[in-house]
């Protein structure tokens, strides 16, 4: 018995000694990889960074080549200790954090923290997709940590720390305690504030259009005036339109020209991070943050039946490159499922000059996992995002589509009206895309007509318009401009927007990013005080230098020396010379504190404006700011902003809740409806842009039929 027991003990010891520890960043990823590798491997998660700069101080030794002073992140010591224990029991440790700068830095810190605690060999592995093949290949080919990549992350971290920890105290002293400023976020704030200035200063011009219905038998042909007296019509007011109608009414209407043209529509490249965020915002209404959260879930692994599958490749990339294996797979799939819709040779897409090309484009790991085949295993958001990723990838290797456009010119006196229609004559890559936009699909067909054919005019449709000003940025458009200007990188687009929203420098209104009064003040101070730093050129130049550091072509401390000392000298000078704005955002009100009788003051807090008693600190009374009087007859309450319990979504409800159940999902503006007296709200749609509408469902002031149908004014479920 003793011998048997000893054998078992030896067997266990041998098994433990041959164990390989793999450390990834997240538990979801660990769960997927562990299923792929099986016995002999232990997979653990670091939960991101375990070692970083402390939050309490700048922690950069500027006199010693800007060396950072790292500590174990507060609350992460136990995770690190557990990893050290696992490493001690293992014969090999493979650091499998994400394949980017942050991931390389995590691996570097882990290596330093583990190497004195274990005799195991410690190596680095990377992969761009979580599939059995990719994981097995990575495990077979471990390598050393890439120091230059670590240095690039270190340089970014130190640079951002030097900027943030010097600008923030300046804002505390001159504006308000608790404020902060970041290097890249401040440039994004500048873009948003400058666009807002354009929006506010824009003065719309009136113009008119003139449409007409012509008839051919029972067929009605709707057309638009495109030429008058041989020129493009300039219809600046109602009189100019009525003059034309009066002149051409009763004139003979004749078809004078018919043109046909064909257009080739090429498929788009597979998604990069920025293009995915833009598409998800435009097609699905996702914020950039939500897009990256859902993409992370798809990348790390989804339970499909009894299998756990990483459905997409790594979602932080600026490359459109596709591996040869993936190309072979998708071309085989197209040949089997879309007969005759594939070019003879694979389509190659140009990689941008600034692209790192370390990863592939974002694509499905298995093209055979069609969206419909995995729908039951995905949440609604996962399914929708996976669908556009899958469709974009498959369609990128399919034939061009072709559309045919027919335009007909109809002459009435000296006016030319035009009707046109287009349709797809070859669907090509659209066969892989379920949801076509109106531009990509069809705008209708034109009935058979002949030149010289006479038509009858049925009715004229004069319509007043106003020129549209510049549009505020949305998640999609700000990401697009950040990418175009070289500000940030794929991993930073979503955090840039999130930080501005969290700091209340920007709010999201009808999907548009609108700077707050606080945001405008921060922008004014930073841009006026640091015009050479808070600008897109400086930021893009820094990004290029970080790239050179990663390529081992630039020493990162030199980058810091060049920037820091003049910057610090200027900050110190501003500490004494810059005008103080403290208290300038507070406004007196006519509201009286119900607790002590003193006047209430409108103050700006972390989450927006609120009312506070002027008797503070003796009286701590605060309350939400009323935005409008409740329109319910006899209620007497006021409308204030609220947050839903579940998702924290803002809505507007009555202070007399629950007796009054009035709520609105549109923010009230300080203006009453001239027709019924209820309050107005600001709305937005692609057709009309920003416009004001009455919240009363029975009032048609500035309402379209579509607005009325979609209105959600009254509700009994106040949890939403």
Q: Which long-range contacts does 664-670 make (Cβ < 8 Å, 24+ apart)?
A: 664/639, 664/695, 664/712, 664/713, 665/712, 666/693, 666/695, 667/509, 667/627, 667/641, 668/627, 668/628, 668/639, 668/695, 670/627, 670/628
Contact 590, 190 (CB under 8 A): no
Cα–Cα distances (Å) from 685 to 87, 209, 713, in that order, read: 56, 20, 18
Contact 505, 608 (CB under 8 A): no
- Choosing from 314, 369, 505, 523, which is the catalytic residue? 314
Verify whether residue 369 is a known catalytic residue.
no
Q: Tell me which H or E stretch contains 611.
A: strand 608-613
Site of tokens 């050179």? 548
Half-sphere exposure of 189 (CA within 13 A, CB side): 32
- Provide the CA 428 distance to its chain's centre, in angstroms: 30
- Where does residue 180 rank: exposed (0-12), middle (13-18), buried (19+ CB within 10 A)? middle
**Torsion angle of alpha carbons 272, 273, 278, 280, nearest 10°?**
100
Which residue, 212, 220, 183, 188, is CA-closest to 446?
Answer: 220
Q: Is 467 helix (H, G, I), strand (E, B) or coil?
A: coil
Continuous H helices in 460-512: 475-484, 493-502
Radius of gyration of the chain (CA): 31
Considering Cα of 169, then 173, then 179, then 180, what sign does the dihedral take? negative
Contact 282, 311 (CB under 8 A): no
Backbone angles phi, psi at 422, to 5 degrees: -140, 155
Active-site residues: which are they? Answer: 314
């Amino acid at each position: 018995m003793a011998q048997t027991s000893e054998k078992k003990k030896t067997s266990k010891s041998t098994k433990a000694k041959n164990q390989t520890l793999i450390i990834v960043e997240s538990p979801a990823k660990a769960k997927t990889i562990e299923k792929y590798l099986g016995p002999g491997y232990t997979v653990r998660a670091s939960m991101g960074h375990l070692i970083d700069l402390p939050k309490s101080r700048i922690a950069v030794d500027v006199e010693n080549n800007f060396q950072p002073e790292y500590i174990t992140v507060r609350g992460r010591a136990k995770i690190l200790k557990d990893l050290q224990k696992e490493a001690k029991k293992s014969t090999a440790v493979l650091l499998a954090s994400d394949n980017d700068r942050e991931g390389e830095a995590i691996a570097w810190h882990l290596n330093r923290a583990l190497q004195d605690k274990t005799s195991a060999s410690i190596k680095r592995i990377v992969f761009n997709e979580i599939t059995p093949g990719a994981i097995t290949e990575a495990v077979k080919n471990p390598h050393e940590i890439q120091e230059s990549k670590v240095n690039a992350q270190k340089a970014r971290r130190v640079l951002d720390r030097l900027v943030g920890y010097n600008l923030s105290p300046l804002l505390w002293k001159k504006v308000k305690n608790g404020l902060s400023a970041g290097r890249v976020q401040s440039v994004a704030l500048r873009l948003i504030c400058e666009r807002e200035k354009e929006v506010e200063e824009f003065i719309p011009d009136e113009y008119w259009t003139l449409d007409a219905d012509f008839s051919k038998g029972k067929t009605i042909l709707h057309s638009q005036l495109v030429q008058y007296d041989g020129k493009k019509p300039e219809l600046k007011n109602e009189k100019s339109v009525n003059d034309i109608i009066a002149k051409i009414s009763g004139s003979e209407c004749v078809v004078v020209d018919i043109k046909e043209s064909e257009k080739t529509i090429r498929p788009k490249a597979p998604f990069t991070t920025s293009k995915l965020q833009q598409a998800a915002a435009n097609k699905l209404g996702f914020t950039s943050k939500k897009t990256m959260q859902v993409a992370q879930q798809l990348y790390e692994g989804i339970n499909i039946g009894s299998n756990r599958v990483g459905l997409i490749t790594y979602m932080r990339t600026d490359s459109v490159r596709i591996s040869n294996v993936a190309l072979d797979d998708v071309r085989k799939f197209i040949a089997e499922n879309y007969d005759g819709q594939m070019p003879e040779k694979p389509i190659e897409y140009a990689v941008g000059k600034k692209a790192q090309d370390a990863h592939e484009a974002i694509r499905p790991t298995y093209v055979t996992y069609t969206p419909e085949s995995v729908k039951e295993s995905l949440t609604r958001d996962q399914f929708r995002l996976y669908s556009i990723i899958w469709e974009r990838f498959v369609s990128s290797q399919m034939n061009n589509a072709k559309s045919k456009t027919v335009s007909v010119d109809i002459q009435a006196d000296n006016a030319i009206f035009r009707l046109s229609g287009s349709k797809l004559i070859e669907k090509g890559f659209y066969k892989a895309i379920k949801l076509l936009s109106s531009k990509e699909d069809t705008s209708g067909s034109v009935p058979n007509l002949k030149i010289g054919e006479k038509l009858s005019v049925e009715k004229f449709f004069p319509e007043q318009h106003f020129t549209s000003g510049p549009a505020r940025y949305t998640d999609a458009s700000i990401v697009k401009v950040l990418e175009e200007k070289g500000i940030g990188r794929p991993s930073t687009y979503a955090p840039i927007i999130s930080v501005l929203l969290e700091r209340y420098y920007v709010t999201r209104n009808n999907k548009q990013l609108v700077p707050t009064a606080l945001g405008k003040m921060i922008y004014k101070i930073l841009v006026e005080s640091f015009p050479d730093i808070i600008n897109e050129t400086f930021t893009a130049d820094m990004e290029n230098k970080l790239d050179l550091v990663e390529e081992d072509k630039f020493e990162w401390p030199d980058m810091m020396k060049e920037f820091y000392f003049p910057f610090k000298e200027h900050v110190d000078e501003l500490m004494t010379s810059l005008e103080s704005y403290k208290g300038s955002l507070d406004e007196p009100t006519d509201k009286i504190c119900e607790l002590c009788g003193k006047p209430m003051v409108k103050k700006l807090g972390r989450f927006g404006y609120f009312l506070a008693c002027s008797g503070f600190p003796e009286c701590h009374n605060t309350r939400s700011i009323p935005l409008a009087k409740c329109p319910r007859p006899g209620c007497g309450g006021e409308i204030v902003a609220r947050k839903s319990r579940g998702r924290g979504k803002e809505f507007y409800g009555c202070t007399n809740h629950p007796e009054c159940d009035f709520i609105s999902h549109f923010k009230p503006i300080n203006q009453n409806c001239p027709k019924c007296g209820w309050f107005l709200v600001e709305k937005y749609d692609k057709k009309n842009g920003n416009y004001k509408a009455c919240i009363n469902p029975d009032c048609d002031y500035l309402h379209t039929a579509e607005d009325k149908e979609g209105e959600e004014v009254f509700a009994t479920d106040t949890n939403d």
